Amino acid sequence: MNCMEFRRISLEDPQHMGDEADQHLEQCTACHTYYRGLLQQERLLEKAFAIEVPDDLAARVTLRQRLEEQGDSAVTMLPTRDNVVAPVKWRKWATGFALAASIVAVTLGINLRTQGNPAQIAQMLVDHVEHEAYTLQLQDAVTQGRLAYTLNNVDIETLAHLGGVTFAGNCLIEGQLAAHLVVQTESGPVTILMMPNSELRPFDYSSADATRVQTVALERGSLALIGPEAVDLDRVRERVISSVRVLRI
Amino acid sequence: MNDKQNLFNSLVEAYQKPLYRYGYWLCGDRTIAEDLVQETFLRAWRALDSLQSMGAAKSWLITILRRENARRFQRKSLDYSDLPMESLVDERSSEGFSAELESLRVGIANLEEMYREPLLMQMVMGFTQEEISEQMEIPANTVATRLRRARLQLRDLLMDEEEEMGGATQ
Ligand SMILES: [Zn+2]
């Protein structure tokens, strides 16, 4: 092999050039230098191609596939921001970016990777709730079907009727699918985040603005409750836990 | 979880990143890249029974993604040159600014598609020249020529860059 041939072959695929080219490389100083420059360019090229991929892309892909799988013919109730409960055909809703956009919105402000103390984790959960504050304003109960659907998406089975749920939707927490519920009580709305795919350490925390945040372990993953201090959070928690079963899949 | 779901999940796990990057370098837009990945996997899910083996998955997914991209052009009668490589600039913040990397990214974006795509297949998807030849339906020696030219063009660009930098310090 001569230098000309070597350079052609090395430009075609610098990583797999074959024995003859490798032999030439050992014998020819000029090509050796040339090749070193080429490898440098390859490393830079690899970096240039490797643009950042969104953390939650895989979860969004899987969510969309599950919506397609389960929601083909189902017509469910989807709460809108205008506090009007409008019938939406799931599949249609899931197509395009409405879904991605809404998930991104729900995901913002929460980052459980942070190894924070309870106060910090509680603050993040409160921020998450406040970011989607409209969900707290809804008054009409979602259908049992809608609730079951949301829970099924995270492999949670409903065992009994869980009344008073005014919002049910899936969101991504740490790239993992979670169920986000709101229940109305006499003392105010309570947000319930069911995260079978995320472990949060258990705590019970009251913030300065009289918001209480509680996290507990589920059969799999964690549950978080966020609500006004005036609410009997323990009762809500017991009601939720006794109404569902986290499937160990 | 059933076998089909398991298989699907492992495909997503294994190929979401290369497919997203492939899509991005096809269209130069993050939103469209994600759309392409979503559509690709959705179609893959619907046709999962037709997948022969895990070994065939990579080519199969790229076939779907390329077809999906072509459909996009049909729908909107767009032309690659109409699309701005808008988000190239965003990359700066993510890993510290490197002028060399930036100009290389612009260089990749400016390559003609016939040169960029074989290089993408080789470097992002890990295809062999034979696989590229099959995928693009062009002879293997044409693939070789295009890979060479792509690398030479980028090399010239980097050389120019270096010269400019050298000139500036004098
Ligand atoms: Zn030589």
Q: Which residues of B touch A52 (CB under 8 A)?
A: 91, 94
Interface of B with A in 25-54 (CB under 8 A): 25, 31, 34-35, 37-38, 41-42, 45-46
Q: How far, in Å, are A45, A171, B84, B113 from residue B78 at the CA level?
A: 28, 34, 12, 14
pLDDT of residue B1: 57
pLDDT of residue A88: 35
pTM: 0.59
Cα(A22) to ligand 1 centroid in Å equals 11
φ, ψ dihedrals at A209, nearest 5°: -90, 30
Q: How far, in Å, are A132, A198, A211, B55 from residue A112 at the CA level?
A: 18, 8, 19, 36
pLDDT of residue A60: 81
Interface touch B20/A46, C-beta < 8 Å:
no
Closest Cα partner for A144 from A115, A170, A165, A117? A165
Model-level ipTM above the cut of 0.90: no
Q: How far, in Å, are A150, B25, B101, B154, B157 from residue B151 at the CA level?
A: 50, 16, 15, 5, 10
Angstroms from A58 CA to nearest CA on chain B: 6
* pLDDT per position as a tens digit, B28-57: 888 889 889 999 999 999 999 999 888 889
How far is the C-alpha of B170 from the C-alpha of B166, rounded, in Å?
7
Interface touch B25/A49, C-beta < 8 Å:
yes
* Residue A66 predicted with pLDDT over 70: yes
Grouping H, G, I as helix, E, B as strand and the rest as coil, residue B156 is helix
- Judged by a CB distance cut-off of 8 A, whether residue B115 touches chain A is no
pLDDT band at residue A101 using 50, 70 and 90 as cut-offs: very low
Q: Average pLDDT, stretch A92-107?
A: 40
* pLDDT per position as a tens digit, B111-134: 999 999 999 999 999 999 999 999
Q: Is the dihedral of CA B103, B109, B110, B114 positive or negative?
A: positive
pLDDT of residue A78: 33
pLDDT band at residue A103 using 50, 70 and 90 as cut-offs: very low
Q: Average pLDDT, stretch A201-210?
A: 88
Q: Which of A60-74, A159-173, A203-217, B60-74 has the lowest mean pLDDT?
A: A60-74
pLDDT of residue B100: 84
* Residue A167 predicted with pLDDT over 60: yes
Residue bearing the bigger pLDDT, B8 or A54: B8
pLDDT band at residue A115 using 50, 70 and 90 as cut-offs: low
Q: Which of A84-98, A105-119, A219-233, B100-114 has the lowest mean pLDDT?
A: A84-98
Long-range contacts of B9-15 (CB under 8 A, 24+ apart): B9/A62, B10/B54, B11/B41, B11/B44, B11/B57, B11/B61, B12/A58, B12/A61, B12/A62, B12/B41, B13/A58, B14/B57, B15/B57, B15/B58, B15/B61
Interface touch B123/A60, C-beta < 8 Å:
no
User: Which segments within A4-141 are labelled E, that is strand?
Assistant: 75-79, 85-89
- Judged by a CB distance cut-off of 8 A, whether residue B108 touches chain A is yes
Other beta carbons within 10 angstroms of residue B127's beta carbon come to: 21
Q: Which of A45-54, A109-118, B71-80, B106-115 has the lowest mean pLDDT?
A: A109-118
How far is the C-alpha of B119 from the C-alpha of B143, rounded, in Å?
9
pLDDT band at residue A240 using 50, 70 and 90 as cut-offs: very high
What is the overall mean pLDDT for chain A?
A: 78
Beta carbons of A169 and A88 less than 8 angstroms apart: no
* Residue B84 predicted with pLDDT over 60: no
Angle of the B140-169 helix axis to the B99-110 helix axis, nearest 10: 140
